[in-house]
Structure 1
Amino acid sequence: MLISLTGMRDDKLLTRISGLLRQAEGTDNEHEAQTFMQAAQRLATAASIDLAVARAHDPNARAATVPVSRQVRIGTAGKKGLRTYVLLFVAIAHANDLKVDVAGNSTYVIAYGFAGDIDSVEALYSSLVIQMVAASDGYLKSGAYRGETAARVVTQHGRWVSRRVVEHKPLSPITARLNFQTAFADRIGTRLTEARDQARAQATGAETGASGGSTAIALRDKEIEVVDFHRSESQARGSWRSSSASAGYSEAARRAGDHAGRRARIGNDREFGAPGGQLGS
């Protein structure tokens, strides 16, 4: 069961993007790492803009490059935490103009968009999912979650009436991990979206005179084409939830995950021992 969540790019370009990502990972300076990461995302966005503009003005380019779908494996059935891995993939995908369907058991996703954009998303995800897991492992090993609480809404059944109340319980390791990774994914999505928007603003702001607005129109046309392609190809039904309501909410774990997402560096997926962004079981 699939659940719906509502490019021309050559090897040289991907090499340049990977180089920036390696620089991000190679520095101990948090601000330098973020600068390199944002530069990589802006470069990916610039290539996406170039494709959109080329397709808007050249019928041959439009015919040669069309949206595609690609299945990306997230993990094996039964592995804990796959929902937060999917959430990270979706956050990166949305910053790079993709639509995503999710398998009901979160073991894989199907990305819809232009091939170059999907390539960029896979490279980013392959690095960031490893960092997310490592950061959450470090958080748990530090013991910082101990003494914290998690809140969840429960139903209390009385003799004559039932009511919903907020219940606070000691923060368990699994709830701490889920909250940490959720906040990490949210922060990464924000960072990449900001970098994308900066690149788009620069491209559209440089237009003057008769050409003014043409890039924005090309990008809008590209977005519509991807949405239409997803609508026609997707077999998804129902809705997908990133986490279980029974897990509980922890402000402390969310803050820790958000902080880790701010500090995350983005590197080449080939530097890790997990091809295609998959984690071992």
Structure 2
Amino acid sequence: MRQQSTAEALVAQAVAQVTGAEPERLDLALDTGASLLAAADWSEVSRALVAQAERTVSRAWTVGWRPADLARMVRRELGPVHQQLGVDLIAAEQRRHPAAALDRRWHEQLRELATEVWWDGDGAYLAEYAARHRLDRFALATAALELLRLWSLLPPVTPVGPAPGAGGPVEHRAVGPVPGEPRMLSRIRALLAKAESTEYPEEAEALTAKAQQLIAQHSIDEALLTAGQGASPNGPGAVRIGVDNPYESPKAMLLDAVATANRCRTVWAKEYGFCTVIGFDSDLDAVELLYTSLLVQATAAMQRAGSRHHKEGASRTKSFRQSFLIAYAARIRERLTTATADAVAGHRVGEDGTSERRAPDERLLPALAAREEAVDHTVDRMFPRLTSQRVRVSNADGWYEGRAAADRAALNGRSGSIER
């Protein structure tokens, strides 16, 4: 049995004291622990701290957390110095797992975080990090202890996929041009990217309208394909999508509107800043894409409306912005529901962007009902105890401006035109 080094003992002791400290004694525990670490052999402390972080991160995986979740908690609770530190320590832990042991969304999260083991050996990590960010030993040791405390105290959450090393098959989706789904989602992604970047509102409206039609059409096509093949080999899954302040309640409402229109369900964990979205895999991809785009567009519209003034000359208030986003989410829900109903009724988007009417397949309604039933069953299994929350609108100007902005999104445009 290997004997624990002095540095390993110091790191373990400092982390234990900080993690177990009551709030009123936390500052003292941090100062004491950071002072001890800063005064010890820095390369040995670096090696021991990285190893301690790997164990902490690995434990987080086993209780349901994922890379984006850990990074989000650091962003919510700590400062910018901690953010890159957290990404690095996630990267260090990932060295334990072969790529084949990680599912598709895990890989996507690591790519979005830009995880990379850039340092020259774990013994040099702290010195190289301090040099990059111009930190002294005490400040960096303090940040590391704060980070490890945060992650160590995370409670178990409902898993949304397999943890690395948990065993069992891991689903991977081909990246190349597979017929149907990848090509369709690639088109949707391109449309929404153009809608966000264009300086012309009418063009953005047309692009977003077409994207929503394609999303609904793709979901229907997949449901019919599954119905034709008999029982689906893959049931509903789940993803977590960040929903942060400010205005987290209306943002959660907007996400729920997008998810519901695309036959998914949402469960909001307000204390952790995310919603769990449950649905079939391609629907989850579509929800992520559309919600992200609509949030960008809603925020821009809110800022334009909020930059104006009341006739009395008073500036727009927080209540205005809150009411604006609530109204935007409510109106988007109505419009997305209509667009989905049109798709079920037989409206399809042609290659030239125009809408055409086709007779609905007689298998469609039973296929969609079966998928919705499967999603509901998965929600009940994952979250047996759920509660609802009401939101309050306190600013009439914000409500009317928000609905107007949602109307301008024209998500259910027909015949290639924009509804006004």
Does the TM-score normalized on the shorter chain lie above 0.5?
Answer: yes
Choose the corresponding residue for 1:51, options 222, 245, 256: 222
| TM-score (ref. length: structure 2) | 0.48
User: What 5-or-longer segments of structure 2 have no aligned partner?
Assistant: 1-154, 158-172, 174-178, 349-356, 412-420
Letter in 2 for 1:34: E
SS of 1:176's partner is helix
Instruction: Please show how residues 131-280 of structure 1 align to structure 2 within 5 Å.
Output: 131-144=297-310, 173-202=317-346, 206-207=358-359, 213-241=362-390, 243=391, 245=392, 249-264=394-409
Instruction: Please show how residues 15-94 of structure 1 align to structure 2 within 5 Å.
Output: 15-25=186-196, 26=198, 28=200, 30=202, 32-59=203-230, 62-63=232-233, 65-75=234-244, 79-94=245-260
Higher share in helix: 2
C-alpha contact 1:86 1:106 (8 A) present in aligned 2: no
Higher share in strand: 1
Letter in 2 for 1:69: A
Question: Is residue 264 of structure 2 the alignment partner of residue 102 of structure 1?
Answer: no
C-alpha contact 2:191 2:208 (8 A) present in aligned 1: yes
CA deviations on 1:213-233 (whole Å, 9 max, x unpaired) are: 211111111111111111122
SS of 1:142's partner is coil
Q: Which has the higher contact order (CA 8 A, sep 6+)?
A: 1
- 1:52–1:203 Cα change, 3 Å: farther
- 1:203–1:42 Cα change, 3 Å: same
C-alpha contact 2:309 2:316 (8 A) present in aligned 1: no
| TM-score (ref. length: structure 1) | 0.70
Structure 2 counterpart of 1:13 = 184
C-alpha contact 2:307 2:316 (8 A) present in aligned 1: no
Letter in 2 for 1:259: A
**Structure label with greater radius of gyration:** 2
CA deviations on 1:49-78 (whole Å, 9 max, x unpaired) are: 122112222136x11x31001111112xxx
Letter in 2 for 1:262: D
- 1:200–1:194 Cα change, 3 Å: same
C-alpha contact 1:33 1:265 (8 A) present in aligned 2: no
C-alpha contact 1:74 1:107 (8 A) present in aligned 2: yes
Instruction: Figure out how many residues of one structure are paired with residues of the other and give that number.
Output: 227
Letter in 2 for 1:121: V
CA deviations on 1:66-105 (whole Å, 9 max, x unpaired) are: 1001111112xxx331111111111111111101111143
C-alpha contact 1:183 1:254 (8 A) present in aligned 2: yes
User: What 5-or-longer segments of structure 1 have no aligned partner?
Assistant: 149-170, 267-281
Letter in 2 for 1:143: H
Identity of matched residues, %: 27
Q: Report the Cα distance in structure 2 between the residues aligned to 1:249 and 1:226, rounded to whole angstroms.
A: 34
